[in-house]
Structures are given as C-alpha cells and as structure tokens.
A and B are shown apart, each in its own frame.
Chain A
Amino acid sequence: MHGSSEVASVGTMWLAAILFVITYAAIMSEKINRAIVSLLAAGLMILLGILNQEAAIRGIDFNTIGLLIGMMVIVAVTRQSGVFQFMAIWSAKKVNANPWGILVMISLVTAVTSALLDNVTTVLLVVPVTLLITEELKVKPYPYLFAMIFASNIGGTSTLIGDPPNIMIGSATGLTFNDFAYHLTPVILVIMAATLLPIYFIWGRHLQATSEDRQRVMQFNEYEAISNVRLLKYCLAVIGLVIGGFVFAKLLHLEAATVAMTGAALLLLLANFGHDPEHQSKHVLDAFNEVEWITIFFFVGLFIVVHGVDGTGLLKLLAEKMMALTGGNLTATTMVILWSSAILSAIIDNIPFVATMIPMIKAMAPAFGGSEGLMPLWWALSLGACLGGNGTLIGASANLVVAGFAERAGQPIRFVQYTLMAFPLMLLSIAISAVYLYWRYL
C-alpha cells in the first residue's frame, strides 16, 4: 500500500473522500454484507477514475491475503484431529477439575492457541468443551465465556499471525514474527494476568463444585478426544515447521505468506497422501470451504479502496492534521493512536480502521526521523486495535461466536451486562499498554 506519486486533483480527492465515507458507513451499518460493500466500493473506485485496474491490483496486499488463507487451511485440517478438545480437557484435569483452576487453564489454552491460530476457530473449538465441563461441574458458564473472549483477543495480540490487524501491520511494515513476539509478548503477559485478577474477585472466588461433580470431569479421557492420531502428528509437525519458518523468515528471506501457503500445501499433501483422487478432491474442497472467503474478499476490496484514497493524498492530509493536533510530539501521537484505536475498535470493525491507519502512519515517517521512529506508533496501533475488540460484544468476531454459543446453551450474554464489565477491563488493558509503551519507547 504505497501512496502513488501522481498528484490528484482536488475534485478527485473529494470524490474519493465521499466514496470512502459511504463505504465506512455501509460497513458499520451492517445492512449489507461487508464483502459486497468493499468489492462494490473497489469497483466504483476504478469506474470513477480514482485509480485504474493496474493500480488497484498493486494496492492489494497479497502477503496479508496469502498468510490469512494459508493459516485458515492449516486450521481447517488441524481442527479435525481433535487436538483443541484434547488440550482443554487435559488442562482441566491438570488442576484437578477445580472450577477456578479450570477457568485459568482454559483462558491460557485459548490465549496460546489464539496467538498461533485464528481467534474465531479457537473459540469455536474450545467453547463447546468448556460448556460441557461447566455443565458437569454445575457452575455458571458466564465467567468462563467472558474470560475466553478476553483471552482470545489478548492472546491474538501477541504475535504477527494472531489477529488480522497484526498481519496487516507486519505485512505493510516488514516487522517480523520475532519483532511482534519481542515487542508485544511482555506486555501481553502482564495484561493477561491483570485481566484474570478482577475476574477472580468478581466471580472466581465464588466458583464451587462438589467433589462428585469434579470426579465426573476427572473421568474424561482426553486421549479419546483425538480422533486421528496420524493426522494430529502431521498437523503438529507442519505447525511447528510454519512457526519455525516465521521465526527464521528474515534469515531465510521469506515473506509470511510464502511460509503459510507452503505449510498449507504440505499439510494437504500429508493428509491426503495415498488416498484415491476422489477422496482427495473431497478433502481438499472441505479444507478450502473452511477458508473465510467473506473476510478474504472484504480485505481485497478494502485494500483497493484504501489504496485509491491514499493515492489522492487524502490520508497524507489527514496524517498532517493529526500531527498538527499533537504538535508533532511522538508521545502524544502514540497515545492518541493507542486510545483512539482501542475505543473505535470496540465499536467498529478494526480491519478497515487499521487498513486506513497504516498509510496514515507511514506518511508520518519524515516527521519522526524515518521508519525506525514509527515503531511505538505501530505497537500502539496493534495494541489498541486488537485489545479494543474486548470492549463490547461486537468488538471482535470471536466475541460474537462465543455469544452465539452462550445463547444456544441457554445462558445468553447480554450486550449491556457484558459491556459494563468488559469496557472498563479493556480500558485497563489499554492503560497498561500506555504505561508499557511510554516506559519502553518514549
């Protein structure tokens, strides 16, 4: 997403601005599917002459697209192995089926898995086991589901591949898997602990189960949850290779999408090797069907729209306005980005927001002594956009998935009730991030 050098007329800038605002409004209204909105807006960008098709294709960040698709395919194959259920049950038994212990362990499993795989899949697989455990223990599932929402978004923040905003930031800036781990993991550990503390005081210390009910959970056989041992071995081997690939990406001169897509292809090969062609076609199609195509096409359209707007110089202008507001002060700019992205991400989709912020932040490079000087801003954007998702039930897709399960289990999570507890807790995580950013970079 590089701003094109040609200078657009003021008329084109206005046209792009209007289209951009309408696109945002349409995405926020949720009346029309977001993939339709972004693709239609991208088409209009070209039809109205704001950019041509060649420029539009240049605007699509295929590294982000490839990384997303590759990881989604790996997850689609891995989820069939039953490993997620295994981890949840294994961890519950490790704490002797103690209700509070289980809450902590399930949160950790969710956080670690969300850091390495996508948040929605993680909760989709861990929530049903959690509901079974809470049902057997006869404890209210609400605290567990609440903690899982936070754990999935917090865990997702800690790595390059954990959450879409990080994937986009990493791809646009060249920041690596190791950079994300080195700069974000320390503060994420603190935030995770700081989130569990209030959960303990409000709910955790009241959680109780009879020894009889706990015994029922202890009798779960986690090894039975693994449906296919051979597949599991392949999945773990490929995930290990892929993460190794991310860690050594810079050394090997590899982009993240290459690592993820090659990993996906290798896993599909291993999982299908020796089967007849018909069986292979079915399994490959099943895996591809699990790719969230709505998200992928949403990204494609959005990249074109943002590239079009960026080319008119509008985002540069907005960046200059923002700099004028903060007086060109790095600390003030970092804090504005952190807090505003957190609050906005709690209410609106963080993907279009981050897509817009990236070229804006890039435009600030000259004022802060080149791209090196932008580091705190990138971490502020990542922490704000990812953690902000915890603030309300609509802040992130994983939240909605958990809420859907809660509803079906007859224990609905109410929007206001959730927000009253979650929004302050989200602000606490942002306050911790603010202190961390100030202490480490400013």
Chain B
Amino acid sequence: MTARTLMNSQPVVLRPTDTVATATAHILKHHLRHLPVIDEEGCYIGTFSIYSLLRLTLPKAVTMKEGLTDVSFVNETTQDLAQRLRERGSEPVLNWLSKEEPVMHPDVSTMEVMLLMLRARTTSAPVVDKNSHRLEGIVSFWDVFEKLMGEDA
C-alpha cells in the first residue's frame, strides 16, 4: 500500500490569493490542521496551517527567530489578539505560508508515511508528484490508522 492509495484525493485546498479569513473559516469549520496551497497549474507551493494562524495572531516580535522568549510582561487581552487576527484577515495566505512542511511522493510505502509523520510530529502531509510538483492529495494520520484497524478486523 502506498501514499496514493491511502490519501484523500479531494482535499480542501487554498489558492495563494485566498485571504487569511477564508482559510480561518475552513480550518474552524472542518477542524482541519493543514491546508495545502496550490497555484493555477495545481502545483503545491506550501501549507497554511493552524500554526500559521497562531503565528499571525501573535506579535511578530514574539514569533520571529531570536525574538522575545518571555512575554509575561505583556498584557494583551483577548480583544487585542482578536483585533490582530481581524486586521490580518484580509491579507493573502501567501504571506503566511509554511514552505518547510514535509511532503511525500505518491509511491512511498505506508511505513514511510508513518515514519515521516512521527519524525515531523505532524498529523498529515501533502502528497506531491515528484516531477510535476502537482498536489495529488493529502494523507492523514486518520487515513492510515483507519486502514490499519480495518486490516486487523
């Protein structure tokens, strides 16, 4: 069994020009953690995830590399945080993509899929064609384990 057979080939995807607000709505409505972002040709260009959301809702001085490690002196209220989220809602998701998320090729084995999830501490990963970089689907932890439990039964 390979990533291709395990994956969901009709995942919710975003375009780089989609807004942060649209992405947020998808994430909250479907309880998704990772949304792949694809260009007009269907090629994978990055992932907008719940971590993108956390990052954009916090001050940049806190989330950037070598930024503030201790924020106990800041007294931002939930209204302040909500306002930052609203202000950034109209920005394109392109500004907040992660390009470092692990991806897998369609022909990798179930074991490789599982090992990648374990090592990257992620619950899902985009399946991307090796040559064309087209997004083929998404394989999630649940896809894998539902399959495993089914085999057992």
Show the binding face of A for B, using Cβ within 8 Å: 82, 85, 89, 124, 128-129, 131-132, 135-136, 216, 219-225, 227, 405, 408-410
Contacts and interface: CB of A to CB of B under 8 A. Distances in A.
A89 B74 CA distance: 10
Given A135-B59, A135-B60, A409-B60, A221 B65 contact: no
A82 B64 contact: no
Given A128-B68, A221-B75, 5 more contacts: A124-B66, A129-B61, A132-B61, A135-B59, A408-B60
Nearest to B80: A216
Interface in B65-93: 65-68, 70, 72-76, 80
Contacts of B73: 85, 89, 220-225
Contacts of B61: 128-129, 131-132, 135, 409
A225 B61 CA distance: 15
A409 B76 CA distance: 19
A295 B120 CA distance: 35
Contact of B59 (A132, A219, A408): A132
A132 B75 contact: no
B70 A82 contact: yes
A222 B73 CA distance: 6
Nearest to A136: B59
Interface core residue of A132, A216, A225, A405 (most chain B CB under 10 Å): A132
Interface of B: 59-62, 64-68, 70, 72-76, 80
A129 B68 CA distance: 7
Nearest to B60: A409
Contacts of A223: 73
B60 A227 contact: no
A292 B76 CA distance: 36
Contacts of B66: 124, 128, 405, 408
Contacts of A221: 72-73, 75
Contact of A219 (B60, B64, B65, B75): B75
Contacts of A129: 61, 68
Contact of B75 (A135, A220, A227, A408): A220
Nearest to A411: B60
Given A124-B66, A216-B80, A408-B65, A131 B74 contact: no
A248 to B, nearest CB: 36
B73 to A, nearest CB: 4
B97 to A, nearest CB: 14
A89 B67 CA distance: 15
A325 B68 CA distance: 52
B64 A408 contact: yes
Q: Which 9 interchain pairs have the tightest Cβ spacing?
A: A132-B61, A224-B73, A131-B61, A408-B64, A225-B73, A224-B72, A219-B75, A128-B68, A221-B73
A223 B64 CA distance: 23
Nearest to A404: B66
Given A131-B60, A136-B59, A220 B65 contact: no
A303 B41 CA distance: 59
Contact of B70 (A131, A227, A408, A409): A227
A224 B64 CA distance: 21
Contacts of B80: 216
A223 B72 CA distance: 9
B91 to A, nearest CB: 11
Given A82-B70, A128-B66, A216 B76 contact: yes
Contacts of B68: 85, 128-129, 132
Contacts of A136: 59
B67 A128 contact: yes
